[in-house]
Structure 1
Amino acid sequence: MNNNYQPPEDPSNSQPPEFQRDPNIVGRIQPERIPVKLPDAAPTVTYALMGITIVVFILQYATQVLLGYDLVAAYGAKVNNLIAAGQIWRLLTPVFLHGSIMHIGFNMYALNLFGRRLEKYFGHWRFLILYLVAGFGGNVISMMFTQSPSLGASTAIFGLLAAQGIFIYQNRALFGGMSRQALQSIIMVAAINLLIGMSPGIDNWGHIGGLVAGLIFAWIGGPVLAPEGMYPVTRMVDQRENRDILLATVVSGGFFAILALGALFLMGH
C-alpha cells in the first residue's frame, strides 16, 4: 500500500493557475467587442450639391467676363430690399453662389469633409433637407440682423457641423469614449470659425442661423442608432421614423419661416 497516494481533485473545483494567483482578475476581463454594420449611404447628394455649386460658379464667372457683372449673383444673392419686394427665393439661392475661387474652394472642401461623413448616417433625402433648411435658416437670420448683401454655402455648412455634433451626442453610447473628444473638436471648429467670421466682409449672422437650424433639425430628426439582429449579422438601425423627419422639417423650417415673415412685416412698415 502506497501511503503517498493522493486522490485526484474534482475537476469541477479546480481553477486555472491565473485565477489561483490573482482572484481579482475576473473583474479585469474586458467584454468581447462584437462587430456591427453601420449605415453607409454613398455621398451622392454631397457630390451633387458640390457639382451644382461649381456649375453655378462657372456661370457666375462667365457672365462676369461676358457682361461685365455677375448676372447670376444679381438675381440670386441675399439682398434685403429685393427680398422685401417679393423675391423670396433669395433666402435659399445664396447657398449655391460664391464670390471668388477661394470662397468656393474653402466651402466645397468643408462640404466634402462634413457631407461625406454625415450623409452616410442621415441618408440622402434627410441630408438634403438638412442642408437646405440650414441654408434657409442662415439667410433668414442674416436678413434680420445685417443689411449687407451676402452669398455662400457656409450657412448650410455650419448647419452640417451642428448636426454632426448632435448626432454624436445622441449616439454617444455607440461611439463610447471617442464621443467626448469628437464633440470637443466640433465645438472648437465652430468657435474658431465664428471668431474668424467676425472679420469685415463675412456674414457671421448667416453662420449663426445655419448653426441653429442644423441643431434644431438634427435634434428632432437626426438618426438615433440601436443594434438589431444576432451576431455575426448585427447591424445598427435608425430608430427615427419618417414622421420624425417630417416633424423636424416642419419645426425647423417653420420656425425660420415665421421669423422671416415677421422680419418682412417690420421691413414693410
Structure 2
Amino acid sequence: MNAIDRTPADLLRSALAADPGRPLVTFYDDATGERVELSVATFANWVAKTANLLQGDLGAGPGDRVSVLLPAHWQTAVWLLACSSVGVVADVGGDPGVADVVVSGPESLEAARACGGERVALALRPLGGRFPQTPVGFVDYAVEVPGQGDRFVPFSPVGPGEPALVVGGVELTGAQVVERALGDGDAGGRVLSGLPYDTWEGLSVGLFGPLTSGGSVVLCRNLGQVSEETLAKRVESERVTVSRI
C-alpha cells in the first residue's frame, strides 16, 4: 500500500508498530507552565480511548461531522486522529449548528451550544484535568475518556478516499491529508510549532507532517508569552531541527 493510499489513522498504527517509545507530541502551554510529552504509544492510547468514546458513547460513524472548536493542543491532536480512526469528518472551526457532534474548549462553549447533537467539553487544564463543574448541556471529556477501552476497532472500515478533514473551508479525504502532509514534512525532523490549528499550515506543521515523516512536534500554545531567550533554550533542550512560529 502506498503512503497516499492510507489515512492518518493508518500512519499512526504504522508508527506504533515501528517504534512505540519514540516521542511524537511534546506540548507546552506558556500561560500555565504545562509541559506534556507523549510517545507514540501514549498518544495512540489516548486516540483509541477517544475513538471508543466517539463511536460508542456519542454514536458517531462514517459520514458524520464533528465540529472541532479547539486550539492547537495535544488533546486536539488526539481528537483529530480519533476522528480519522472512526471515519467521521473533523471540521476544524466548523459551524456547530450543522454538526452531529461538537468538541469545544472552555472559550467556545456558547458557540458550541448551537449543535443539536452530542456536545463534548474539554477544560484544557494541565494534566488533562476536568472542569470544576461540568458545563450544562455537555459531557466532560476528562470524566468520560479514562474509562474507555485501550483498543479500538471501527464498526465500519475507513477508506482513504472518504472525507476526513475540513480546514479553511476545504474538504480533504484521508489520502489527501496524507499526500499534502508528505509534501510539507521535514523527514524525521523535530519541529517546533507555535502556529494555530485553524489553517492547513498549522495542522501540517503541528501534527500531520511529523506523523507522516516519522518525526515529532514540539507544539507550543501561548508562545508569545515567552522571551526570545527562553524560546532559544527550549529549541536547544528539545533538540528542535525546524521552528515554525
TM-score by length of 1: 0.29
TM-score by length of 2: 0.32
Q: Please state which structure has a larger fraction of its residues in strand.
A: 2
Q: Which protein has the larger Cα radius of gyration, Structure 1 or Structure 2? A: 1
